[in-house]
Structure 1
């Protein structure tokens, strides 16, 4: 993609199962596009967490008024990792999806300290954290919250979660590049 984005456009991400015949099923969850090849899904439903499922994401770019879809792209998922985060006794779960190809995406720059502060201030609410950091998120009201049933025998603290999110996620995210 060569089309440049403006700061007012937003991105909507839905995660889908892909069957053995290559057909894309209904949306399982919504996600947040973090970088050109990385999507995070807060509170992933059980069907998304199965490592044997073939997954794909549909990424839609919306105009600044949020009313029209100006680009839609389907990309398969090449990797999945699950994380659990504990902030002040509240456990938040997420799935990080690595995409099989890059898309053109505006860089969001923030420091590791800002990320930790937002995670703490929002008590681990990943939607609020990434929105507050400036990610251009478009969230549809069509899908409900994910499944909170993810077993989390070990939930990370805020600093440990931010280290994994920033520095161990394949492509380097901006907080790793600019962070402290």
Structure 2
């Protein structure tokens, strides 16, 4: 991690919704956080985010205490990645936006080894991992009970890694926060149109 690259900007609240019609958010599906100006990571997403046939839209706003400005942006595509191994089981949806947010998003860099170490130490809690890496994340209230591990079903097995390091690189997408190995290309998540 390069702690000098984190900017002192307000945290952004990001929610993912069904798109009812152009530019209009419907039902709240999930919470996530910006990993770059044009990508959002949704830890342990609901199965509703795995459908290539649905249209999604994001509501992005500054954390409480700021000017209250809200931005609504359509999702262009979704990548999925999951891990079951090394004592953890978690998944992520990486949403790419049609165009970048106008809000400032801090940038953080890391290595696959560091992300894997934090994933294992935080028992797969991606909110804690990315907060420790320096992103300003706003964790939603936790739902009681265990996480639904729908991604372990046969239809999604191609997205499931056995290594926390491979999972961390699989959630990078085109984000500047992506894990990079010197001289080697990182694995990218499979992307489906939203």
In the superposition, the TM-score normalised over structure 2's length comes to 0.74
Conserved? CA contact 2:47–2:150, under 8 Å: yes
Question: Which ranges of structure 1 fall in alignment gaps of 5 or more residues?
Answer: none
Counterpart check, 1:173 vs 2:177: yes
**Taking structure 1 as reference, are residues 90 and 114 closer, same or farther at Cα in structure 2, changes over 3 Å only?**
closer
Conserved? CA contact 1:18–1:24, under 8 Å: yes
Total equivalences in the alignment: 170
**Taking structure 1 as reference, are residues 24 and 161 closer, same or farther at Cα in structure 2, changes over 3 Å only?**
same
Distance in 1, matches of 2:39 and 2:80, equals 13
Counterpart check, 1:132 vs 2:136: no
- Residue aligned with 2:17, SS: strand
Match of 1:160 in 2: 166
Match of 1:81 in 2: 79
Q: 1:7-156 alignment to 2 at 5 Å?
A: 7=8, 9-20=10-21, 23-62=24-63, 66-68=64-66, 70-103=68-101, 104-141=104-141, 144=143, 147-150=148-151, 151=153, 152-153=156-157, 155-156=160-161
**Taking structure 1 as reference, are residues 178 and 45 closer, same or farther at Cα in structure 2, changes over 3 Å only?**
same
Distance in 2, matches of 1:27 and 1:82, equals 19
- After TM superposition, the runs of 4+ consecutive aligned structure 1 residues lying more than 6 A away are 177-180
Distance in 2, matches of 1:130 and 1:15, equals 19
Conserved? CA contact 1:7–1:136, under 8 Å: no
**Taking structure 1 as reference, are residues 79 and 91 closer, same or farther at Cα in structure 2, changes over 3 Å only?**
same
Distance in 2, matches of 1:6 and 1:61, equals 15
Return the offset for 1:20.
Answer: 4.4
Question: Which ranges of structure 2 fall in alignment gaps of 5 or more residues?
Answer: 1-5, 185-194
Query: Deviations along 1:117-149, whole A, 9 cap, x unmatched?
Result: 2112112211111111111012343x7476432
Query: Deviations along 1:57-102, whole A, 9 cap, x unmatched?
Result: 111112xxx4445331111100111111124343211111111111
Structure 1 stretch 110-119 or stretch 123-132: which is displaced more? 110-119
